[in-house]
């Protein structure tokens, strides 16, 4: 079977209205954890701006799981509707033309998933295929694009919508004095994004996708679900693990996919230490990670949503020449999600 590249026809994004600077978070940290204020400043370095569904004052108040769930649903529904509407509009695709919806989120739980709650409002067909993903964390957005690509290989006439929603502010733990929770308050932001994928178009094409699970790392990154809700788990060894394990995984993928010299890289905007580890491991020129670093500075780490903001930033910089690159998602597991991407300007698009 001849592999047909899939095309990212459009990307839509949405941010909540509460804009937060690192200095604001440091003030909150000094109030809650006076002895960790210095750590808060270091953790927030490089992330001057984030957008939160809950204000800092609301975050600093105890909440029940019911209250967190209500905030997740109310804010999430609004943000995701905006992002999906923007993506559909830019792609000039109607909601009833979508054949598969892949939704990702790890900061709230709904059954049925949030796409089911939006289906009637947005106008999806009753027979639309639905694939909700919850436990892939930050890497889920990249994985979802890969799953969409694989679906389009089998059904090239279909249209796929990928939708991501993350609201870390709604699950932040007021009473958790752990370093993990403090760092999370300094790096994570809220937001939503969506992308429409099809085949046979110019623009940013997906040529191949791959997944890799680093053995014996399941406890290094993720969430623990306890009586009070979600509690963030971060391991200080994560950057070191990436420096050791990322290069062979990426090399095997690029060699197998026939990727040449990299013109661009779309890396998950996880934070400065993650960016530095990836740059060192892969021997990348600094400018290749500029879209990722700028995305992080502008909106912080939005978990599975981040890759869409990075791709949006990246495509705004690509010119009229064909270019080749990769997408890298990093998440709990530790999981590494990879995409072989190719920029095909309209003038060189295949017929």
Return the number of other C-beta atoms located less than 10 Å from residue 67's C-beta: 14
From the candidates 106, 111, 138, 186, which is the catalytic residue? 138
Contacts of 8 (CB under 8 A, 6+ apart): 145, 195, 196, 197, 203, 204, 205, 206, 311
The C-alpha angle 15, 17, 21, rounded to 5 degrees, equals 90
Q: Is 138 a catalytic site residue?
A: yes
d(CA 198, CA 7): 5
Chain center to CA of 115: 17
Token pair listed for 341: 């991407």
Q: Check: CB of residue 252 under 8 Å from CB of residue 168.
A: no
- Catalytic machinery residues: 138
């Amino acid at each position: 079977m001849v592999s047909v590249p899939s095309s990212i026809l459009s990307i839509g994004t949405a941010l909540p209205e509460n804009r937060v600077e690192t200095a604001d978070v440091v003030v909150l940290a000094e109030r809650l954890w006076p002895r960790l204020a210095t750590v808060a400043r270091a953790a927030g370095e490089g992330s001057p701006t984030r957008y939160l569904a809950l204000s800092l004052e609301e975050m600093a108040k105890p909440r029940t799981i019911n209250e967190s769930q209500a905030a997740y649903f109310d804010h999430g529904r609004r943000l995701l509707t905006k992002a999906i509407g923007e993506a559909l509009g830019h792609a000039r695709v109607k909601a009833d033309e979508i054949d598969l919806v892949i939704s990702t989120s790890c900061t709230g739980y709904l059954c049925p998933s949030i796409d089911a709650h939006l289906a009637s409002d947005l106008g999806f067909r009753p027979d639309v295929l639905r694939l909700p993903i919850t436990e892939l964390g930050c890497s889920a957005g990249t994985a979802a694009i890969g799953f969409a690509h694989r679906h389009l290989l089998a059904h090239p006439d279909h249209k796929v919508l990928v939708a991501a929603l993350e609201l870390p502010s709604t699950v932040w733990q007021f009473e958790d004095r752990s370093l993990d929770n403090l760092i999370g308050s300094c790096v994570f932001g809220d937001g939503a994004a969506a992308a429409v994928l099809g085949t046979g178009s110019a623009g940013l094409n997906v040529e191949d996708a791959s997944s890799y699970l680093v053995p014996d790392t399941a406890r290094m990154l993720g969430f623990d679900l306890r009586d009070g809700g979600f509690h963030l788990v971060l391991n200080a060894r994560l950057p070191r693990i990436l420096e050791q394990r990322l290069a062979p995984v990426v090399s095997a993928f690029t060699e197998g996919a026939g990727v040449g010299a990299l013109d661009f890289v779309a890396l998950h905007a996880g934070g400065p230490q993650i960016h530095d580890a990836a740059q060192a491991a892969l021997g990348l020129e600094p400018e290749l990670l500029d879209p990722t670093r700028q995305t992080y500075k502008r909106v912080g780490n939005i978990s599975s949503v981040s890759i869409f903001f990075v791709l949006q930033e990246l495509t705004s910089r690509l010119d009229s020449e064909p270019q080749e690159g990769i997408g890298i998602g990093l998440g709990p597991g530790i999981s590494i999600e990879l995409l072989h991407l190719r920029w095909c300007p309209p003038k060189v698009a295949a017929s």
